[in-house]
């Protein structure tokens, strides 16, 4: 059993770790921001010395990539300097550090799945700040694990699939309650690796328990566009919605996205670990759980509850609807 200090415990992946704490055999401690601000060296060091973890997992990040684009200092404070603070404090107590990173460190210009050894070239402030965070951890921590992932969705917190289901549900209701076909337009020319946090979290724990260090890509297998994901989610939910494919140019955003950032899990494969399930199967299982939770929360009817809604967040894609759109980072 290992003692794990978790930063970013209120995000999708952090909550996934906390949810599996009992069955994993590990003990987790996730300090809130009031107790421990990731950019405050003094508070991070104090928590590190008090808890004395074996492993530190840093999920904390500012992932709203369009907001980040206009706030580079704040982005680098959280995504890069925060990683420096965590790695430095972890080094003092001899803890290994896992830094969760993103496909946004690539420019997506190669048009093929990207391995851990491909050159990075981030296009956005978000991507640059996350790459800087990788460098901080690799340069400071005695034992450093970088896990790049992408297009996350989980049972807690906002994400692209939840937003799609909400818009499909809301768009399929008239003011008087009469059903209609929801109309959604979703970007179809950006490709990536949709990943369920429930599949990602156990692999991170496996890598830490095996004592392997360096950079690994961990994503569900296969490739998809945001349009592919939206159509799959709507179909899995049994919702009546028309999902129209649109180009990136029809959905202007502040931060540039990599067009083809599908991640190849080459290092994981060479390590002998099995690849994660196909993204289609992950989406189907995830949506089934979301809809089952909705049915329980509403007694089998009514609207989608508040916990299912929300914009932005990790893994959010591009969706255009009457109520607006959103597109975030991984």
Q: What pLDDT does residue 23 have?
A: 83
| pLDDT tens profile 37-58 | 999 999 999 999 999 999 999 9
Cβ-contact 184, 242 below 8 angstroms:
yes
| pLDDT tens profile 76-128 | 999 999 999 999 999 999 999 999 999 999 999 999 999 999 999 999 999 99
Residues that are catalytic? 126
Average pLDDT, the chain: 88
pLDDT bracket for residue 178 (50, 70, 90):
low
Both tokens of residue 297?
């929360």
| pLDDT tens profile 143-177 | 999 999 999 999 887 899 999 999 998 876 654 55
Q: What pLDDT does residue 129 have?
A: 98
pLDDT bracket for residue 312 (50, 70, 90):
very low
pLDDT bracket for residue 179 (50, 70, 90):
low
Q: All domains of the chain, ordered by start, with CATH? A: 3-152+193-221 (3.40.50.720), 158-192+222-259+277-326 (3.90.25.10)
User: What pTM, to 2 d.p., does this model score?
Assistant: 0.90
Q: What pLDDT does residue 124 have?
A: 97
Q: What pLDDT does residue 45 have?
A: 97
Q: What pLDDT does residue 250 have?
A: 87
Average pLDDT score over residue span 130-140? 98
Indicate if the pLDDT at residue 248 is higher than 70: yes
Q: What pLDDT does residue 301 have?
A: 53
Q: What pLDDT does residue 240 have?
A: 87
């Amino acid at each position: 059993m290992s003692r794990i200090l978790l930063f970013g415990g209120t995000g999708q992946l952090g909550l996934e770790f906390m949810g599996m704490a009992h069955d994993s055999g590990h003990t987790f401690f996730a300090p809130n921001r009031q107790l421990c601000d990731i950019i405050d060296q003094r508070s991070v060091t104090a928590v590190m010395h008090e808890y004395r973890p074996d492993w530190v997992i840093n999920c904390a990040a500012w992932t709203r990539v369009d907001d980040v684009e206009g706030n580079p200092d704040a982005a680098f404070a959280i995504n890069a300097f925060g990683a420096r603070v965590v790695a430095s404090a972890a080094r003092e107590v001899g803890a290994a550090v896992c830094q969760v990173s993103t496909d946004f460190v690539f420019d997506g210009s190669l048009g093929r799945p990207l391995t851990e050894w491909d050159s990075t070239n981030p296009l956005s402030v978000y991507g640059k700040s996350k790459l800087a965070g990788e460098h901080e951890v690799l340069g400071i921590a005695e034992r450093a694990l970088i896990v790049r992932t992408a297009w996350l969705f989980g049972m807690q917190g906002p994400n692209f699939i939840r937003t799609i289901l909400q818009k499909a549900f809301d768009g399929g209701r008239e003011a008087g309650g009469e059903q209609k076909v929801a109309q959604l337009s979703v970007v179809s020319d950006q490709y990536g690796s949709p990943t369920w946090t429930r599949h990602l979290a156990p692999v991170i724990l496996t890598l830490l328990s095996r004592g392997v260090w360096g950079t690994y890509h961990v994503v569900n297998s296969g490739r998809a566009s945001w349009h592919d994901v939206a159509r799959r989610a709507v179909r899995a939910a049994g919702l009546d919605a028309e999902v129209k494919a649109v180009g990136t140019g029809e959905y202007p955003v502040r931060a540039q996205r990599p067009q083809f950032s599908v991640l190849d899990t080459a290092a994981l494969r060479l390590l002998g670990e099995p690849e994660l399930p196909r993204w289609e199967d992950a989406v189907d299982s995830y949506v089934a759980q979301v809809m089952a939770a909705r049915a329980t929360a509403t007694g089998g009817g009514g609207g989608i509850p508040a916990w299912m809604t929300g914009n932005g967040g990790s893994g959010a894609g591009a969706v255009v609807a009457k109520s607006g759109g959103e597109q975030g980072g991984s």
